[in-house]
Structure 1
Amino acid sequence: MSRPPLRLVRAASALVAAAAIGLGLLMLLRQQAGLGIERVVIGTIPATVYRPEGGGPAPVVVVAHGFAGSQPLMAPFATTFARNGLVAITFDFPGHGRNPRPLPGDVTPEGGATRALVDETLRVLAVARGLGDGRVALLGHSMASDIVIRAAQQAPDVGATIAVSMFSRTATATSPRNLLVIAGEWEGRLKAEALRVVGLASAPQPPQPGVTYGDPVLGTARRAAVSPGVEHIGVLFSPHSMDEAQGWLDAAFARPARAARALDHRGPWIVLLLSGIVLLAWPLSRLLPVVADAPAGAGLPGRRLWPLLVGPAVLTPLILRVVPTHVLPVLVADYVAAHFALYGLLTAGGLLLVRARPAGAAPAPLRRAALAGAVLAATLYAVLGLGGVVDAWVASLAPSPGRVPIILAMLAGTLPYFLADEWLTRGAGGARWAYPASKLAFLLSLALAVALDPGRLFFLVVIVPAVLVLFLIYGVLGTWAYRRTGHPAVGGLTNAIAFAWALGVTFPLLAA
């Protein structure tokens, strides 16, 4: 049986992609159906209030994001609370999301950034008291788990505190009131920390997940919950996390139990929407111009490829361990930019040493105008298409004016990396596994950097899942662009710009 013509397969793919995009958007909008969602500004703090349409006065939950996070990441909790009759308010911390103010103070001492973040949470809490019936609760993820615990300890009227992926040593057996700790199943150390904190109240009994100790009426309740099959970001989209949080608030505020809670299930629909946009790029890639008549690239077989994968991965963190990299007013972004840049330069140097071009092959003629057009089209699709969806449903990607220099500085690092990496992993006769192997080597290189300097670079651990997802998505887009255009520079330049944009607007902006 003969295969259908490729053009028909592309047309069918376009239809499937369009259906996935439409269904994904429809189901995401359904998560917010029946809610009143209002954008507000508290001083300089961008915030969003979620409430059930037509609902009366109710307790208000202040929802705080973690390091390098922003309001969209916390929307699943906010919509769950609102759909179950509560009022919720999310906001962007200084240096994060759409907040125009940089994060003041040092990020490590309690008297610096931590105090500033607690004060900011208390400002939002003061407004929250006037949005409902006067009863308030706090929820924070990761970095903000410590912030909301400290804020609750300073605000005795906070009826419940929920710490997701908790980083905090300030909680005691009785403070703050009614503490729920949620961790993902794949957050080993944080699961242990959740049980440790709950164990302060359960002693002499060993703490068990899913068991409530103490009395919510007295404010002494403690509980550790583990959301199955998720990690540090997935825990924010887990229906189990939503269910535990809503149940905790219902108990703390003595609200009637519901037969079934309305939970936010946006996670799979976000995946479907993004998958549709990525799939649509395949038939659309046929609209790109041909840049080179013969496929360009190193085309290295495995035995010649391995040294160029291992060398930069090991040398980059070792060299940067002794080289000052703190030059940008953005936490750890300067190191990431330097890591990208040095890694790319070492890769390019290795390519020159091995003269990575098939024997006897002449350089493929390059059509510069076609290259510029292809890069422009691919970049617009990556930044506006994919980036627009991420900005609306996952994390803020719209840059403030103060972020533009940071994006350009990041671009100085991502350009040499992605141009060298694309050339290394593309080309006729090259190893099929070259691209995933090169990305794995880079992630392992970052892991080695953290191991060499955990005090300064620990926050890199938080962004590794996001970098992995970006590698997967842009790797697919780059592959399709390469097959059409015939030149690695299209994917290299597009990926460099997209990564610089995403990382430049994500890392917390620090005060000078």
Structure 2
Amino acid sequence: MVLRTAVAIVAAAVVAFSIWQLESDRRGLSVSHGWVEDTPITIHQRRDADPAPVVVIAHGFAGSRRLMESFAIALAHNGYVALSLDFLGHGRHPLPLSGDLLREDGATLNLVAQIAQVTDYAETLAAGDGRVALLGHSMAADIIIRHAQVAPDVQATVAVSMFAPTITADSPRNLLVVTGALEPRLREEAIRVLRLSAGSEAAEGVTYGEQEDGTARRAAVAPGVEHVGVLYSRTSLQESVDWLDGVFGQRDAGPVPARGPWVLALIGAFIVLCWALSALLPRQTSIQDGAGLAWRKLLPIAVIPAIATPLILWPLPTGFLPVLVADYLALHFLVYGVMTWLCLALWSQEPRDLSRRMLVAAGRSIPTALMAGLLCLAVLFWIIDHYITAFSPIACRVPILLAMLAGTVLYFLTDEWATRGEGAARGGYPATKVMFLLSLGVAVVLDLESLFFLIIIVPVMLSFFVVFGLFSRWINRRTGRPMAAGLVNALAFAWALAVTFPLIDGG
């Protein structure tokens, strides 16, 4: 108990200091929120700054303007007006994204039109001086480049983790490409773009052309980061500031805060704090919930649903939710849970007794879930929403969240029952999560065109499985109520999937 108390004190101190550090990055800045027609925007600017160029900042697929805040803060501290937006269907934008997501004449045209509208607005800002630049990540890099190629007022473009097939030898003007060192394919794309104008000997870290006449190009690499980490890298931020300073002749140098380490410290310390505070949960009773299956019995229960679920859903229509691939995921969770229950029922040979025992265990777990889980989710989701990306659902996403919950709750309750209890197989809990992810992989292979975007969500689901798997372990060890963790996990996954993936109307 002494150790846990000491750990709790240290973890709480790290949480508090990380929040203080992240909030201190905003000191001296004015942060305002508004709308351009239906598009929600946020404007960061230094309180004492003179009128300056406006940088329109756009996020990538399934992102939000909050995810791009590191760039907004760095640019604002260096004298720029940073205007970030939520794309159609993303973040807190109330309208869905229409058009085919895989066609250039589909959703892409709607996003380019949105950027054009916001850029026109940026040129009229009183805090701006009429000059404008664009900065975008991943999907948005292609969108801003398409607009910059037809908008002569855009004097510079910063493309982070870019893939943009429309780039030519002289368009767009003053292009900086930033990639993470752990993005090999996108680094190759950056070199390809450089060679269009600089020749076959073009190399990273070298500026070609002249910023005065708009022909400048450069490919920069942020060390040690991948597709998301590149957004927090000090190299990414400094390269962007330096590039725009060169284009606009700015000499108003300010700090370039590296927020990534503090975000990681905040989340890590909070998870450690949860471990320490789990000692406050009611102690384990003599009756421990769960089937307690050894590997001999658990293995078929883990494998059969993983194979059967994608095969069952393959021929079925799944487009009943206005969120990209969320409808399929809801059904995958639901059918996977049903298949797991059927396997458990066959093993127990008493389906009615199994259902009764699981319902009783779930009922006993509700107080623990409320005590441990909901408070944990509230704080963790506040951290994500406030420092990483939009994570609070707008009104139109609440029904989607409930639909997702209908699928996730059955899966997580049956999975907890199968992998917990006296005599449960060691390593069974992570093994069933690996099988679930492999099952999603099979689904993608069977229907790549419709389910391609599931690939993007796998790293997020893996991180959630790890974090909430730890919570499950701590709750189970202390209370003997694994179904409490099942209820918490079900809500966590339903929430995350419902609020992050884009709203679509398929038009």
Match of 1:424 among 413, 418, 423: 418
Match of 1:320 among 313, 324, 342: 313
1:36–1:433 Cα change, 3 Å: same
Corresponding residue for residue 400 of structure 1: 394
Do the aligned partners of 1:292 and 1:367 also contact (CA within 8 Å) in 2?
no
Question: 1:491 offset after TM fit, Å?
Answer: 0.7
Question: 1:353 offset after TM fit, Å?
Answer: 3.1
Match of 1:209 among 188, 204, 209: 204
Do the aligned partners of 1:35 and 1:82 also contact (CA within 8 Å) in 2?
yes
Corresponding residue for residue 294 of structure 1: 287
Corresponding residue for residue 281 of structure 1: 274
Match of 1:221 among 216, 219, 230: 216
Q: Write the letter of the residue equivalent to 2:194.
A: V
- Give the TM-score, by structure 2 length: 0.92
1:111 is paired with a residue whose SS is coil
Corresponding residue for residue 157 of structure 1: 153
Do the aligned partners of 1:345 and 1:417 also contact (CA within 8 Å) in 2?
yes
Corresponding residue for residue 184 of structure 1: 180
Corresponding residue for residue 470 of structure 2: 476
Corresponding residue for residue 374 of structure 2: 380
Do the aligned partners of 1:293 and 1:364 also contact (CA within 8 Å) in 2?
no
2:262 is paired with a residue whose SS is helix
Do the aligned partners of 1:173 and 1:201 also contact (CA within 8 Å) in 2?
yes
Q: Write the letter of the residue equivalent to 1:49.
A: I
Corresponding residue for residue 323 of structure 2: 330
Corresponding residue for residue 133 of structure 2: 137
Superposition pairs of residues 76-155 of structure 1, within 5 angstroms: 76-131=70-125, 132-155=128-151
Q: Write the letter of the residue equivalent to 2:26.
A: Q
1:322–1:59 Cα change, 3 Å: same
2:105 is paired with a residue whose SS is helix
State the distance in 2 between where 1:346 and 1:188 align. Answer: 39
Q: Write the letter of the residue equivalent to 1:476.
A: L
State the distance in 2 between where 1:437 and 1:251 align. Answer: 53
Is the aligned partner of 1:250 residue 2:245?
A: yes
1:364–1:253 Cα change, 3 Å: closer
2:293 is paired with a residue whose SS is coil
Deviations 1:280-334 (A, max 9, x none): 2234334444686322223233344333333333333333332221221111111
Structure 2, unaligned runs of 5 or more: none
Q: Write the letter of the residue equivalent to 1:474.
A: F
Deviations 1:411-455 (A, max 9, x none): 122112211221222222223322222222222332333333332
Match of 1:57 among 46, 51, 56: 51
State the distance in 1 between where 2:188 and 2:8 align. Answer: 46
Question: 1:49 offset after TM fit, Å?
Answer: 0.7
Corresponding residue for residue 500 of structure 1: 494
1:455–1:98 Cα change, 3 Å: same
State the distance in 2 between where 1:332 and 1:213 align. Answer: 42
State the distance in 1 between where 2:414 and 2:287 align. Answer: 19
Match of 1:170 among 161, 166, 182: 166
Do the aligned partners of 2:362 and 2:483 also contact (CA within 8 Å) in 1?
no
Q: Write the letter of the residue equivalent to 1:318.
A: L
Question: 1:197 offset after TM fit, Å?
Answer: 1.9
State the distance in 2 between where 1:508 and 1:356 align. Answer: 43
Is the aligned partner of 1:230 residue 2:235?
A: no
1:364–1:75 Cα change, 3 Å: closer
1:416–1:188 Cα change, 3 Å: farther
Q: Write the letter of the residue equivalent to 2:486.
A: G
What RMSD in Å do the two structures reach over aligned CA positions?
2.4
Question: 1:495 offset after TM fit, Å?
Answer: 0.6
Corresponding residue for residue 3 of structure 1: none
State the distance in 2 between where 1:364 and 1:330 align. Answer: 31
State the distance in 2 between where 1:263 and 1:56 align. Answer: 19
Do the aligned partners of 2:14 and 2:266 also contact (CA within 8 Å) in 1?
yes
State the distance in 2 between where 1:111 and 1:41 align. Answer: 26
State the distance in 2 between where 1:364 and 1:107 align. Answer: 42
1:250–1:318 Cα change, 3 Å: farther
Q: Identical aligned pairs, as a percentage?
A: 50
1:427 is paired with a residue whose SS is coil
Q: Write the letter of the residue equivalent to 1:140.
A: G
Do the aligned partners of 2:284 and 2:477 also contact (CA within 8 Å) in 1?
no
